[in-house]
Amino acid sequence: MKLVPARLEDLPLLPSIALRSKSHWDYPQDFLDKCKTFFEAEYTEEYLKKSYTFLFLQSDEIIGMGSLLWNDIPMIDSFWLLPENIGKGYGKQAFDLLIKEARKLGWPNLTIISDTYAEGFYKTMGAKRVGEVPSEVQDKMLPKMFIDLG
């Protein structure tokens, strides 16, 4: 597996990857519609400029995407695998590659605002739950995770 920096011409793929990944879980359609609107507004040219956004490639095929972002704190701001690639070990490989990138940038730690269904994955990867934050899309709290890179 390898990470390839997302380019401007990749921009239309990002909301699609995120939505397809989110759709893997048992969410109602009205929530997924809100997510679609959110993802289309989130992944912009400006976002690509301020983040380190990567496509995950396996055998030169796009299998997901992820981004590192440091506004107030260093974060894994997005981490999505296409549904047909979930449960095959690719998530661990992609996560490890993102961690490697964050370390290359000299980042001391990462915060992750996790999807409820992804919390177990992040715990397996070494992150600890340190609190909760309100969702930007629905009326619920999401796990706030932390991983030390030291």
> Is 113 in contact with 142 (CB distance < 8 Å)?
yes
Q: pLDDT tens digits for 31-58?
A: 999 999 999 999 999 999 999 999 999 9
Question: What does the alpha-carbon distance between residue 45 and residue 47 come to, in Å, rounded to a whole number?
Answer: 5
Residue 61 binned pLDDT confidence (cut-offs 50, 70, 90): very high
The CB density around residue 134, as the number of other CB atoms within 10 Å, is: 11
Percent of the chain beyond pLDDT 70?
Answer: 100
pLDDT at 150 > cutoff 90:
no
Domains of the chain listed by start with CATH number: 2-148 (3.40.630.30)
- Reported as a single tens digit per residue, the pLDDT across 110-142 is 999 999 999 999 999 999 999 999 999 988 999
pTM above 0.75, yes or no: yes
Predicted pLDDT at 69? 98
Neighbours of 22 (CB within 10 A): 20
Is there a contact between 6 and 55 (Cβ–Cβ < 8 Å)? yes
Does 19 have pLDDT greater than 90? yes
The string of pLDDT tens digits covering residues 72-124 is: 999 999 999 999 999 999 999 999 999 999 999 999 999 999 999 999 999 99
Looking at residue 139, its pLDDT comes to 87
Yes or no: say if 32 and 22 are a contact pair by the CB < 8 Å rule.
yes
